Amino acid sequence: MRKQSVIVPEELAVTTVMAVVADPAAHRSALLPPRSSALGVRCARYKRFLSQLDMGSGGGGGARISAWVDSMRTSSPTQVKAAAMLSTSFAASHDEDYNNWVKQHPSALSVFEDIVAASTGKQIVMFLDYDGTLSPIVDDPDRAFISNAMRETVRDVARHFPTAIVSGRRRDKVFSFVRLRELYYAGSHGMDIKSPTKRTKHTKAKTKAVLFQPATEFLPMIDEVFKALMEKTKLIPGSRVENNIFTLSVHFRCVDEKIWSSLAELVRSVLKDYPKLRLTLGRKVLEIRPSIKWDKGKALEFLLEYLGLADSGNVFPVYIGDDRTDEDAFKVLHGRRQGLGILVSEVIRETSARCSLRQPAEVQEFLRRLVEWKRSASLPRRTEARKK
């Protein structure tokens, strides 16, 4: 697998987004829209919070717990605040900060024609997060069901493009929701990757099935921490610990914000004895992972290599996700100078994605339009083939 350089994320204007996809370095300075000072301050403050979040196992006392809680609050507003943010987002077209953000990360629906023009003649490969991308975010993670309409849309996408679900969830859990055997599944933030069990036209006849699990040595440790957290979180009403096999998720969506510090302290007290595990933050969830250099971006690279496309100049990877953990994949696409990252968000977010969509309904519409474009583009070739 080739090494990728890191490129500072470009901020793209709506009308020129795909020109920058072709040559980001050449266009960046000329195309940057003016950044709102308020937006810059807001993003800088958020970055400071994240830099304070301990990415290791424990220690640091009250100051570090305070930083954890600040980060939890910043990235994961309470339901009351979330409702307020949502109502604000519907009026966001009149908000200067939001308008500037959308100029930098235009809707993938509004620049759809530019996207397909940039992908013409290239192999599109689809990478999709699950929660918040294909299904709505819900209080009970066991009830994050994908709609039948979305499932059929993803099935159609997989008929035309190699398609992978890349999730923080355990792989078998995601499969139980999606139930499509023609997809690649990468669970536990890419630490558990399995190829399709149903052969498609994208599956090479000589390609062996893959089951890739780079963190198996951590399984006993993960299991120990899971049992400890299950016991201790009984004291935190509304908390929930999810075992993703190679990672753990401590959900605090239903936890009273007043006791977030207690939850953070509890998690810290468990992890202090496990220096080989690290803590990261998602959408109302604390993620516990092995301290190995593997994430959703690495999973994307692994799957491109497995498909024989890692060194191809004619590949167009598209990654759609809503979580902070998806940023690793967005950064990989910037480093490759290929494809497109699309963030799913209804509010201003600091991101390395070039485009945005507001919610799963818009994701479905984007995927549906992509399938329609592919079908229409294939008709002339089929007609010509029949004539011959």
DSSP 265-330: HHHHHHHTT-TTEEEEEETTEEEEEESSS--HHHHHHHHHHHTT-TT-SSEEEEEEE-SGGGHHHH
Q: List the beta strands (DSSP E) in the chain.
A: 123-128, 163-166, 184-187, 192-194, 211-212, 240-243, 248-251, 277-282, 285-290, 315-321, 340-344, 355-357
> What does pTM read for this prediction?
0.79
Output the six-digit token pair for 200: 């498609």
Sheet (strand 285-290) strand order: 240-243, 248-251, 285-290, 277-282
- Shortest CA distance to 214 belongs to which of 129, 305, 292? 292
Output the six-digit token pair for 24: 């980001």
Compute the 3-state secondary structure of the chain and give helix, strand, coil in percent, each to the nearest 5. 50, 15, 35
pLDDT at 2: 40
Return phi, psi of residue 164, to 5°: -130, 140
pLDDT at 283: 82
Output the six-digit token pair for 76: 């994961």
**What is the CA angle 254-228-240, rounded to 5?**
15
- Shortest CA distance to 261 belongs to which of 291, 289, 277, 239? 239
pLDDT at 28: 35
Query: How far apart are the C-alpha atoms of 376 and 388, rounded to whole Å?
Result: 20
Query: How far apart are the C-alpha atoms of 232 and 261, rounded to whole Å?
Result: 14
What type of residue sits at position 291? Answer: S
The sign of the dihedral angle between the CA atoms of 383, 374, 364, 166 is positive
Q: 244 CB contacts (<8 Å, ≥6 apart)?
A: 168, 169, 170, 173, 187, 188
Burial class (CB in 10 A: 0-12, 13-18, 19+), 134: buried
pLDDT at 252: 93
- Shortest CA distance to 286 belongs to which of 252, 254, 323? 252
Output the six-digit token pair for 16: 């020129």
Output the six-digit token pair for 186: 């990468």
Query: How far apart are the C-alpha atoms of 143 and 332, rounded to whole Å?
Result: 31
Which residue's entry shows tokens 């305070």?
Answer: 66
Q: What is the mean pLDDT of each run of 10 residues along the chain (388 residues)?
A: 35 40 41 42 47 46 61 55 50 70 96 96 97 94 95 97 97 97 97 91 69 96 97 94 96 92 92 94 90 96 95 95 95 95 94 97 98 86 52
pLDDT at 85: 52
pLDDT at 206: 52
Torsion, Cα of 55, 60, 61, 64 (10° steps):
-40
Query: How far apart are the C-alpha atoms of 356 and 193, rounded to whole Å?
Result: 26
Residues 203 and 339: beta-carbon distance below 8 Å: no
Active site residues: 129
pLDDT at 29: 32
What secondary structure letter does DSSP report for 203?
S
pLDDT at 1: 45
Query: How far apart are the C-alpha atoms of 239 and 255, rounded to whole Å?
Result: 6
